A and B are shown apart, each in its own frame.
Chain A
Amino acid sequence: MAQSLTHGETALPADWRDLFALTKPRVMSLVVFTALCGLLAAPGEVHPVLAFSSILAIALGAGASGALNQWYEAGLDAKMKRTAGRPLPAGRLDPQTALQFGVGLAAFSLFLMLFASNWQATLLLAVSILFYVFVYTMWLKPRTPQNIVIGGAAGAFPPLIGWVAATGSIAPLPVLLFLLIFLWTPPHFWALALFVRSDYAAAGIPMMPVVAGEQSTRRQILFYALIMAAAAIAPWPLGYTGALYGWTAVVLSAVFVLLSIQVGTRRTGEGDTMQPEKRLFAYSIAYLFILFGAVVADHWWPL
């Protein structure tokens, strides 16, 4: 449970900036972008107002998930340098406000999706919020080093929801895009976990480097990078995308695998600055942005 971090009977009303920070805006930007790409890559045309409203609903749903995640993990966040400055552990916001904000935002995002789009997309959005909050945050994350692997499904939903919001049905391409983000999540988060390992250990979160050790994590980063590359390229030979996406995926995935080989095959000593891990983490974000951009570009201008 979230720890009570209120401090005094005369607590000030929450500043809106702290409520905004609760939604994890940086994570939301990737969610919005992948959802938008899913929606734009779908066949047929969507009314711009309905497209905007659907993406807004997905963004609000992601923000609600982030807020509920921070509400539940306030105690853990306080123990980690990277997250200690967040509104709840820093004591700038009381847990009750955060909980009400998160639940209210989740409910509103579902209402907006239902109003602007269809029940299929609304159902998927509800599943993704519930999966992130209950399955990932509350169940998997504190219990198993596989938390990121299974929990990655929550972050993989946006392009699928975007597509379903546009078409009302599921097709193979958005499922492959779901699979791509699902397989991208472990190398992305484990690269981060390698250079903030002490933080996770201090908070008692069983991240892979803490439980299985650094070498095992490095091998698994490489393993997931290889199958992720296969999933990224797959839409091209399967005929769901054209050569523009195909070559972009081949080149970008080759670089991803090379960076993963660098991370996967090295050993570190005392005082290592973890530059290859930081490089892989930064590249993995750019990788996803460019690859999803290529899905849309390929749909609009097929070679």
Chain B
Amino acid sequence: MTDEPNLEPFDEAEYRRRQRSRANLMAWMLGALAILFFFITIAKMQIFA
């Protein structure tokens, strides 16, 4: 007898939901980092001016 791998049924709706939630989070984080890097640059320009 061979052991069949116990695969969970593929839930496409859940797959898409997780993909969307991670993509949204990534977009917010990249936006926040762009703003943070902008302000770091401004702060450094003030210090070294």
Contacts of B40 in A (CB 8 A): 49-50, 53, 115-116
Interface: A16 (CB within 8 A): yes
Q: Is the CB of A7 within 8 A of B6?
A: yes
Assuming A49-B39, A116-B40, is B8 touching A13 (CB within 8 A)? no
Q: How far is the CA of A56 from the CA of B35 in the complex (A)?
A: 14
Report B-chain residues with C-beta under 8 Å of the C-beta of A49: 36, 39-40, 42-43
Partner pick for B43 among A7, A10, A15, A47, CB 8 A cutoff: A47
Q: Mark B1-30, 1 if CB is under 8 A from A, else 0.
A: 000011110110011001101100100000
Contact between A13 and B15, CB atoms less than 8 A apart: yes
| Contact A13/B25 with A7-B8, A116-B40 known, Cβ cut-off 8 Å | no
The smallest C-beta distance from A171 to any residue of chain B, in angstroms, reads: 21
- B43-A12 in contact (CB<8A): no
Closest to A13 in B: B18
Tell me which residues from 9 to 26 in chain A have a Cβ below 8 Å from any Cβ of chain B.
9-10, 12-16
B46 touches A10 (CB 8 A): no
**B28-49: which residues lie under 8 A (CB-CB) from chain A?**
36-37, 39-40, 42-44, 46-47
Complex CA–CA separation, A12 to B11 (angstroms): 9
Task: Tell whether A8 pairs with B8 under 8 Å between CB atoms, given A13-B19, A16-B25.
Answer: yes
Name the contact of A115 in the complex, choosing from B10, B37, B46, B47 (C-beta under 8 A).
Answer: B37
**What residues of B have a CB within 8 angstroms of the CB of A50 in the complex?**
40, 43-44, 47
Chain A residues near B43 (CB, 8 Å)?
47, 49-50
A301 to B7 alpha-carbon distance, docked (Å): 62
Contacts A7-B6, A8-B8, A53-B36; A47 near B15 (Cβ below 8 A) = no
**What's the minimum C-beta distance from B11 to chain A, rounded to whole angstroms?**
8
A10 touches B47 (CB 8 A): no
Q: Which B-chain residue is minimally distant from A48 (CB atoms)?
A: B43
Contacts of B5 in A (CB 8 A): 8
- Chain A residues with Cβ under 8 A from B19's Cβ? 13
Which residues on B sit within 8 Å (CB–CB) of A7? 6-8
Known A-B contacts A47-B47, A49-B39; the reply to A15 vs B7 at CB < 8 A is no
Q: Which of A33-75 contact B (CB under 8 A)?
A: 47, 49-50, 53, 56
Query: How far apart are B49's CB and chain A's nearest CB, in angstroms?
Result: 12
**Smallest CB separation, B31 vs chain A (Å):** 15
Measured between alpha carbons, how far is A101 from B25 in the docked complex, in Å? 15
**Contact between B36 and A10, CB atoms less than 8 A apart:** no
A10's partner among B7, B25, B44 (CB-CB below 8 A) is B7
- B21 pairs with A10, CB closer than 8 A: no
How long is the Cα–Cα vector from A266 to B13 in the complex, in angstroms? 57
**Chain B residues near A53 (CB-CB < 8 A):** 36, 40
A12-B15, A49-B39 given; name 20 further pairs at CB < 8 Å. Answer: A7-B6, A10-B10, A12-B14, A12-B18, A13-B15, A13-B22, A14-B18, A14-B22, A15-B21, A16-B21, A16-B22, A16-B25, A47-B43, A47-B46, A49-B40, A50-B47, A53-B40, A56-B36, A115-B37, A115-B40
